[in-house]
Amino acid sequence: MQRYAAWVKLLCRLSGEVTVAPSEPVLLDDRSRAALERARIHDGISKLRGRRVMAALLEQLRAEDPSVEAIAPGSEEADAFQPQARWQLLRLQRRVAGLEVSFSRGMPLLSGAVAMDSGDRLFWQYQNGQWRLIVITAHHRGSTPGVIARRHAYVADRYSKWFDFQAVEDLLGPARGKQVQVKGDKGFQRFNPDSAYLYAKVDQGGLRITVSELIQLGVHYLNRAASWSAG
């Protein structure tokens, strides 16, 4: 027990050292990543960095709109997000929103989403250098070609304007000196069984999206989703 307690204390001290400055990249640089992987703590530190970033994003949301409030897990409103354990739930404008920090395929994954009255959800997501705009649907769920085609048609009909990367281009284009390329000109990408998405490659040419840039884009797309009108 003494060894376990000492280990916990060291982890607590380490977590206290994890800070993220607005001007630094969200993802760790290759040298830091390699060092943390050798110490076998890369995944935990990356998640912790992600939580710091999302805490700053939530602070910015509340600074712009003091009415933003937390939603208790297990409440009726929280049913819009499953599994609830993955999400920090909020009431944003009149809708339920969620913030997520996860880890997939060796990379941190940060997401923001807003639930629609239809049961669909509008997402933004940052992972592996991609800024994704996603619709997760409550309709046409499955992985067969026919279901996928119907799902993509449904998303295109109801949510085509969601896939607007102009804010990404306006923020990152001038600094990068070139247009931010959007992937999906041949149709939607997909995560089966329930989503359709397009993405922009925001980490390229040795440049990576910064904490400040992610917060600006995250807040923008959350507010856009929260004020979404089907018309």
pLDDT digits (tens, 9 = 90+) for 139-188: 899 999 999 999 999 999 999 999 999 999 999 887 776 667 776 556 89
Contact between 197 and 183 under an 8 Å Cβ cutoff? The reply is no
Band the pLDDT of 59: cuts 50, 70, 90.
very high
- B/e letters for 118-133, b = 16+ CB within 10 Å, e = fewer, are eebbbbbbbbebbbbb
Q: What is the pTM assigned to this prediction? A: 0.88
The residues near 9 (Cβ < 8 Å, ≥ 6 apart) are none
Give the pLDDT score at 66: 94
Q: What is the mean pLDDT of the chain?
A: 86
β-sheet with 182-183: strand ranges across: 69-70, 87-92, 95-104, 107-115, 121-127, 130-136, 195-201, 182-183
Q: CA-based angle 78:79:81, to the nearest 5?
A: 80
Spatial neighbors of 129 by CB under 8 A, at least 6 apart, are 27, 201, 202, 203, 204, 208, 209
**What's CA 23's distance to the chain center, in Å?**
19
Neighbour-count burial of 200, counting CB atoms closer than 10 A to its CB (0-12 exposed, 13-18 middle, 19+ buried): buried
Which tokens belong to 27? 């993802």
